Chains A and B, each alone.
Chain A
Amino acid sequence: MLLEIKNLHVRAGDTQILKGVNLNVEAGEIHAIMGPNGSGKSTLANVVAGHPAYEVTEGTVRYDGDDLLELDTDERARDGVFLAFQYPVEIPGVSNSQLMRQAYNERRKARGEDELDPLQFDDYVREKVKVVDMDPDFLDRSVNVDFSGGEKKRNEILQMAVLEPRLALLDETDSGLDIDALRVVSNGINQLAGDDNAVVLVTHYQRILDYVEPDKVHAMVDGEIVQSGGKELAMELEERGYDWVAKQKGAAQ
C-alpha cells in the first residue's frame, strides 16, 4: 500500500475539519476526491503534505508502510510526496529554475544519486518544460511572480514533472483553467502516472476526469469520505450534487 489513511481526525485551531477519513491508495492508481467547498478535501491533501496549520488529533497516515506523520514537510517531499498547491505562492527573488534544481537535487540526494550541476539540470528541465507547453523564459523568472492563474498551475505541474514524485496530491489544480490549460495539466498528470506511483486529484469539478481516467472516485462531505466508487460516481455527483450521498450516509448510520 502506498498511502494508507485510517480514521484521520484533523483540527485547525478550534475547528474540527476531518472527522475520521479512511483512504487506501495503491501504487499505479489514480484517485479523485470530490466534494463541496468546506468538505475538508483540501485539508486532507495538505495534512498528507505536512502543513503546519493542521493538528492531527486521531488516526494514522502510513506512506509505503512508514508513519508519515512522524516526518517533517521537507522529509516527506524528499521521500516522494508532492503537493500541487491550490494557490501557489509568489516568491520574489528566487528563480523558478533555482527552486527546481534545489528541490530536484534534494530528491536525488535522498535517493542516493549524484546532484546535477546547473548545466546538467538545464538540459533536464528543458525537456520537462515541453510537457507543460511553457515558454522556457519562465525558468529564469521569480517563482510564480506575475504569473497568470493558469501559468501558476502549469508551473506546479512542471515542478511535479521535474520531481517525479511517488505520491502526487493535486489540490484543485484543475480549478479556473481554460480547456487548453486543462489539457496541458491533464497531459502532465498522465505522463507522470505509472505503475510505481499514484495520483490523488482533489477536485471540485468532474471535467478533468474526461482527460484523466480515475481508478477510484471518493465523495467527501463534512470531513468524511461518504461514498467511494468508479468514474460513474463522479458523473452522478456532478448531476445530483452531494446532498444525496450525505443523506445515504446518514441513513446507513
Chain B
Amino acid sequence: MSTAEETRETMARHPFVARFIDQGRARRTSGQPQWWADLRTGALQKLVGLDVPGRKDEEWRFINLSSLVERDWSPQEDATFEPTADQLEEWRVPEASSTTLVFANGRYIPELSTVADLPEGARVTTWSELRDAGELDVIADYVDIADYWEDDVFYNLNSANFEDGLVVVVDRNVVVEQPIHVLHVADGTAGDYAAHPRNVIVTGESAEVTVIEEYATAEDGVYFHNVVDEVTVAPNSKVRHVKVQQDSTDAFHVARNQITIGADANYESTAVNIGAGLSRNDSYALFDGRNIECTLDGLGFVSGSQVTDTHTALDHDYPDANSYQLQKNIVDDRAHAVFNGKIFVQQDSQRIDSNQLNQNLLLSKRGRVDTKPQLEIFADDVVCSHGATVGQLEESHLFYLMARGVERDRAKALLTYAFAAEVLEDIVVDTLRERLEAHIMEQTTS
C-alpha cells in the first residue's frame, strides 16, 4: 500500500488520528535538527498503524474517549490567545517571580515570561528559543528515550505535532533554589484547538531543581492539551515536580510523563488534577540505577460529570530502591475517578521497598471510583505494600465538629480539605500549596 492509501484507510478508520497526521505533515521543518525531523517522521509513520484506544483495551476500560476522539481538532495556531499580565495574576507564584514561563493556548509568550537570577549552569528556556538560537542539540539525548510509549497514540500524536514546551537543563552540581513555574493558560473560546506541549527536564549529576507545571483556564471552553513530559534525573540529583491541572471542565487533558532516574537520585512528584472534563495522567518511572528514591503522589478532585484517570508505573530495574505512592481522589456529583498503579520489580532487583496507597472519598451517591493495583514482581527480597479504600465522610467526625459549633457544610469542607491535605502538604512551594488548599475549601463549601 502506498502512504496515501494507508492514510486514506486511517482516515476512514480513525479521522481523529488522520487529522493529526495531516496537521503534523503540514508543520514547518525549518530550524529543526535532523533528530527532531526524524522523531516527527517516525511518529507520523507509526500513527498510520495505530488504533484509537477503546474500552476493550485493558488500559482504557474504565473511561470513554468518544467525546475526545469524535471532535474535529484544529491546530493551536488557529486559536491564538494574547493574555494580559492582569489575567495571569491569580496564578503567579511569588517564589518563582524570576523564573516563570507563560504559554497561552500552547504558544510561548516571552513578553509575559521572566527568566532571571539563575545560577550559572542552569538553563530555563523553551524549544522555540533553542531552535531560534540553533542550540536544540543540548536536549537531543533526552527526547524520546523510552520504549514504554512506543505504541501509545497520544504520545505519538504529540511527537508528530509538538512545536514548543518547557526546557530545563541543570548542569552538574548546580542547585536551583527558586522553583521554576511553567504556566499554560488557555482561552477555551478561541476555537476547538489541540496543543501538544513537550516539556523536557534534565539534571546533571548532584544537581537540584523544582518545577511547577501548571495548566490554568482564563476562559472556559473546549480544547485539548496533549502533553508529554520527559524528565531525566541524573545520578545523585534531585527533582521535585509539581503538576497542577486546572483546565476548563469543557476541555480534555492527556499527559504522558516519562521519568528516568539514575543511581542515588531522588524524584518527588505531586500531580493535582482538578480541572478538565476528562483528564488522563500517565507516569512511567524507570529506575535506572541503584539506591533510588521516588515518590509519585497525586490528588484528583472532580465533580459534575468530570472524569480523572491516573495511571502510574514504577519500573524497578536495579536493586535497593524505595518508592512511595499516595493517590487520593475526591469524587462529587456524577464524577468518576480511576487509578491504576503498576509496580514492576525485575529479576535481581532485590531489596525494593515499594508502598502504594489509593484512597478515595465519595461525596455523593452517584460518584464512581475504579481502582486497580497491579504488581509484577520477579525478585524475592522485596517489600511491596498496596492498598485501596473508598469511603465517605464519617458521621461521627461531622458530629464532633458540629458539637464544637462548626456548621455542617463547613464541617464537611474542613474534613474534605483534611483528606486532601495529606497530599498537598508535601508541596514545598508555600504560596502554591496555600492556594490549592484554599481552592479545595472553597470548592467544597460552594
Contact = CB atoms under 8 A, between A and B. Distances in A.
Chain A complexes with chain B: yes
Interface of A: 49-52, 72-74, 77-78, 82-83, 85, 88-89, 91-94, 98-100, 102-103, 106-107, 110, 142-143, 159, 163
14 contacts: A74-B408, A77-B404, A83-B403, A85-B400, A85-B403, A91-B400, A93-B420, A93-B421, A94-B418, A100-B404, A103-B404, A106-B406, A106-B407, A159-B404
A77 B410 CA distance: 14
B395 interface: yes
Contacts of A98: 414
A107 B421 contact: no
Nearest to A88: B400
B405 A74 contact: yes
B182 to A, nearest CB: 29
- Max count, chain A CB within 10 A of own CB: residue among B394, B410, B418, B421: B418
Nearest to B401: A99
A52 B422 contact: no
B412 to A, nearest CB: 12
A93 B404 contact: no
A94 to B, nearest CB: 5
Contacts of B407: 74, 106
B60 interface: no
Q: Is the interface of B mostly helix, strand, loop or mixed?
A: helix
A143 B404 CA distance: 13
Given A89-B396, A89-B397, A91-B397, A49 B418 contact: no
A143 B396 CA distance: 13
Given A92-B418, A93-B422, A94-B415, A106 B405 contact: yes
B322 to A, nearest CB: 23
A93 B401 CA distance: 13
Contacts of B16: none
Nearest to A165: B405
Interface in B375-429: 394-397, 399-408, 410-411, 414-415, 417-422
Contacts of B420: 93
Contacts of A163: 404-405
Interface in B91-106: none
Contacts, number: 76
Contacts of B422: 92-93
B254 to A, nearest CB: 31
Given A74-B406, A98-B414, 12 more contacts: A52-B399, A74-B407, A77-B404, A85-B400, A88-B400, A91-B401, A91-B415, A93-B417, A93-B420, A94-B414, A100-B404, A142-B418
A89 B415 CA distance: 13
A72 B418 CA distance: 24
Contacts of A107: 405
Contacts of A143: 400
- Max count, chain B CB within 10 A of own CB: residue among A73, A82, A92: A73
A77 B403 contact: yes
Contacts of B404: 77, 99-100, 102-103, 106, 159, 163
A163 B410 CA distance: 18
Contacts of A92: 418, 422
Nearest to A104: B405
Nearest to A92: B418
A51 B399 contact: yes
Nearest to A105: B405
B405 A49 contact: no
B403 A49 contact: yes
- Max count, chain A CB within 10 A of own CB: residue among B400, B407, B422: B400
Interface string B194-212: 0000000000000000000
A99 B418 CA distance: 11
A49 B401 CA distance: 12
B104 to A, nearest CB: 36
A110 B405 CA distance: 10
B406 to A, nearest CB: 6
Contact of A93 (B394, B411, B418): B418
Nearest to B425: A93
B442 to A, nearest CB: 16
Given A74-B408, A94-B414, A94-B415, A89 B400 contact: yes
A100 B400 CA distance: 12
Nearest to B414: A94
Contacts of B397: 89, 91
A165 to B, nearest CB: 10
Contacts of B403: 49-50, 73-74, 77, 82-83, 85
A77 B400 contact: no
In the A-B complex, the 3 residue pairs with the smallest Cβ-Cβ separation, listed nearest first, are: A93-B418, A77-B405, A103-B404
Nearest to B422: A93
Contacts of A103: 404-406
A191 B129 CA distance: 70
Nearest to B396: A89
A142 B419 CA distance: 12
Contacts of A77: 402-406
Given A73-B399, A85-B400, A102 B406 contact: yes
- Max count, chain B CB within 10 A of own CB: residue among A49, A78, A89, A107: A89
A93 B405 contact: no
Contacts of B408: 72, 74
A36 to B, nearest CB: 25
Nearest to A49: B403
B414 A72 contact: no
Contacts of A74: 402-403, 405-408, 411
A94 B421 CA distance: 9
Contacts of B414: 94, 98-99, 102
A143 B400 CA distance: 11
B301 to A, nearest CB: 14
Contacts of A106: 404-407
Contact of B402 (A73, A85, A93): A73
Contacts of A78: 405
Contacts of A51: 399
